[in-house]
Amino acid sequence: MSSILRLVLLSLLLTTTAATAQDYVPDELRNWQEWVLKDKEYRACPFYFNAGAARRGDFICAWPGRLQLGVTGAGARFSQSWTVYADEQWLTLPGDAAYWPDRVTVNDRAAEVVARDSGPSVRLGPGSYRITGRFEWDERPGILRLPPETGLISLSIDGRDVERPELNRNGVFLGERKQDTRAVDSVRAVVYRLVADEVPTRLVTELRIDVSGSVREELFGPVLPEGFVPLNLQSQLPAKLEADGNLRLQVRPGRWTVYLMARAPEVLNTIVRPAAGANLPDTEIWSYQSNDRLRVTAAEGLPPVDPVQAEVPGNWSNYPAFRVDAGATFAITERSRGIVSATNELGLQRTIWLDFDGGGFAIRDAIGGQMRTDWRLDMRPPFSLLSATEYGENLLITKGRDEGRTGVEVRQTEVNLESLGRADTRGTLPVTGWDTRFAEVDATLNLPPGHKLLAAPGVDNARGSWMSQWQLLDFFLVLIITIAVWRLLGRGAGVIALLALVLSFHEAFAPGWLWLNLLIAIALMRVAPEGRLRQLVAGYQWLSAAALVIALVPFVAGQLRIAIYPQKLSASRRAPPNKMR
């Protein structure tokens, strides 16, 4: 319904009197007040609690009360209270062009009703009013249009009260399709709170309510501990935060959730839960979100509960939860100040290029994660830091405490650092070269044509290296072929076969099973008897030898070309980068 949509998230702030406001205006500026506030009378009105109070639309200068509507077969009577806070406001009345209100009075005095936005309206200045009127019709309509601002309705039809008026954006249904005489007015509330250790302490309250019975106003509170200032209110129902800390809701049957965010005047170590007030439970569930960047703390002294069993909101389920009774103290124990005891959680993505002459490496690093201590990253020899950027901004590279170290200062907890480095060495390289520990390191090695990575000792996985390509089946096949050559052709041939297979087995288009096929043909030729069978085996042997030669010629030619002119290696045959973790 439009009235509900317009009143959701609404909480009224009580304005101070003009005399009180004068106390906050310097003498030199008092004569300018009228000029500054010209055409801004709406600033004396309450404003939507979650709005910035900067535009006219953020303020509400007319607040409707309960609409009492009595309907009969010949007509209807209505009565509604309104409060106008500043300036003259248009107040919309029930009805429309088809059913126009008659005999309208404002505080028992006749009022002029005009058509505005296709509906009857009256224009009134600041004050409190009670507007009454009546309708006359030959046949009772099915739906009567209501003011969009109206949230509470008391409806009676032919002298019988309708406990649950059916409302929609067009108005109110003048009847009652369903009637449950067993329904009684009741409210059940469950309160969850999240205490966030920030500057100042922040408190998020989630109020879940189950409502049954009639449409009515209910009071909840006080909803905040003493000293907390409300910041934001989100409600599925029309809501008003009173000056005494109570929350007034215009409720209707169903399940509803209200969110209230508040802050303390400072960083707190103790929070006293207020006594269980109107419609609030005796026990609440509080969760605690620590902040290691500020200080290392823990909530103690209250009975803990399982967040899952207690049905804590899903985004709070990772935080410790506690049962807090009325009047109990939520204590926060500070164990250390700052984040000295915390460790950095950083990850490194590294890309490495080997020089064409093999004399050194060019390195590009991308470092991400959370920085919690030290606030400086230094690169040790044999690496040298050439440039660094953080979130796209260039950083100044300075010398470290030790000889040969260079690094940068990191000023943000969330690290997004990119750097370029150089290592002019062909010997053993450190895993990272940085003076800090990384939770994860991924490196990609790009080699120029004619080079191959044999192995990368010290890493968990070196995908693409020569050693990582060997599998159990490969070892088995090489041993079988070597042993067969040894037995068939002698020891020298076996050694040559072993070296040739080990060096060429994982090269592109290298013959593997063809060697074994030829050895099988040779072995059969030695034991085959004279006759037709021996002729077949001889043919099989020549075919196997021909297939091997056909495979060897392009393979040997390709290997020679790579060895002599590696830069002419086609892109389709170029080896992929070697990835290491």
Q: Where are the domains of the chain?
A: 1-179, 186-337, 345-446, 472-568
List per-residue pLDDT tens for the chain, 581 residues long.
334 333 333 333 333 333 333 346 777 787 887 777 776 777 778 777 666 666 777 788 888 888 999 998 889 999 999 998 887 888 889 998 888 999 999 999 999 999 888 789 999 988 999 999 999 988 888 888 988 888 788 888 888 888 778 877 778 888 655 544 455 788 899 999 999 999 899 999 999 999 988 888 889 988 999 899 999 889 888 888 888 889 989 888 889 999 999 999 998 999 999 887 788 898 999 999 988 777 888 888 889 998 888 889 988 988 999 999 988 999 998 877 655 545 788 999 999 888 887 788 899 999 998 887 778 899 988 888 999 998 888 888 888 878 888 899 887 778 899 999 998 887 677 888 888 888 888 888 888 876 777 767 766 676 766 677 777 777 777 787 777 778 777 777 778 777 777 777 667 667 767 777 777 777 777 777 787 777 787 787 788 778 777 777 777 777 677 667 666 554 444 455 666 66
**Backbone dihedral region for residue 563 (phi beyond 0: left; psi -120 to 50: alpha; all else: beta):** alpha
pLDDT (0 to 100) of residue 176: 52
Angle at 37 between CA 34 and CA 42, to 5 degrees: 135
pLDDT (0 to 100) of residue 565: 67
pLDDT (0 to 100) of residue 297: 85
pLDDT (0 to 100) of residue 570: 45
pLDDT (0 to 100) of residue 21: 36
With tokens 């300075």, the residue in question is 398
pLDDT (0 to 100) of residue 366: 93
Report the alpha-carbon distance of residue 69 to residue 435 in Å, rounded: 77
For domain 345-446, give its CATH number from 3.30.870.10, 2.60.40.1730, 3.40.190.10, 1.10.490.10: 2.60.40.1730
CATH 2.60.40 for domain 186-337: yes
Q: What residues contact 282, with CB distance under 8 A and at least 6 apart? A: 276, 325, 326
Residue 88, φ and ψ in degrees, nearest 5: -85, 135
pLDDT (0 to 100) of residue 24: 62
Q: Which of 331, 341, 346, 339 is nearest to 292 (CA)?
A: 339
Residue type, 255: R
The answer to whether 300 and 241 have CB atoms below 8 angstroms apart is no
Whether the domain at 186-337 and the domain at 345-446 fall into the same CATH topology: yes
